[in-house]
Copies of this chain bind each other. A is one copy, B any other.
């Protein structure tokens, strides 16, 4: 049975999931409870579906975000499918390995991260922010910060990967930073 864990402590979530692995109780968050709602074909549709579903269940203001990496040599793939790039059981490690394999020997390694954030209020009112983060795919994974494709993503003007940047350095220029700050600006205008 899926159960929502009521805590604000990420350490407790990780421990509880490990402890209950294989038991009849599966720890989920509100987003996981709502299941695979990412059935849209764009970042905006995915973020909007997540935010609306969670707001409808909880009657609370909900912020959701969808993001992906678009690789020039792959004609913009994996895009909105970035999280599941290497299959239904994909992890950051298997996704990065697949991307490296597909780009083996590729001369054009240009890529960009994109993010769309959507805030849905219980009234149904909606705020949207978008962000783009230009860069290139490195030849091997480097760094332990961030998540997703960060160990392979070298932002334009950088020699380090996004996983080698300090969190505040990454957040100042990242797709997610830009998207959330754009959303806040729209909200503050109200």
In angstroms, Cα B184 to Cα A19, docked, is: 10
List B contacts of A183 (CB < 8 A): 25
With an 8 A cutoff between CB atoms, is A78 at the interface?
no
Cβ contact within 8 Å between A19 and B176: yes
For A12, give its contact among B4, B54, B65 (CB under 8 Å).
Answer: B65
Task: Specify the chain B residue showing the minimal Cβ separation from A190.
Answer: B24
Cβ contact within 8 Å between B4 and A62: yes
Among the stretches A31-39, A69-77, A105-113, A152-160, the one at the interface with B is A31-39
With an 8 A cutoff between CB atoms, is A167 at the interface?
yes
With an 8 A cutoff between CB atoms, is A104 at the interface?
no
Q: A14-B10, A15-B171 are in contact. Are A3 and B119 (CB under 8 A)?
A: yes
Q: A60-B4, A184-B20 are in contact. Are A11 and B148 (CB under 8 A)?
A: yes
List B contacts of A151 (CB < 8 A): none
List B contacts of A60 (CB < 8 A): 3-4, 33, 57
In angstroms, Cα B15 to Cα A148, docked, is: 12
For A28, give its contact among B8, B33, B64 (CB under 8 Å).
Answer: B8
Chain A residues in contact with chain B, CB under 8 A? 1-16, 18-20, 23-25, 27-34, 50-51, 53-54, 57-65, 119, 146-148, 167-168, 170-171, 174, 176-177, 180-181, 183-184, 187-188
Q: Given contacts A15-B177, A19-B181, could you give 7 more A-B pairs where the C-beta distance is less than 8 Å?
A: A4-B61, A6-B50, A10-B10, A12-B176, A19-B177, A33-B60, A57-B58
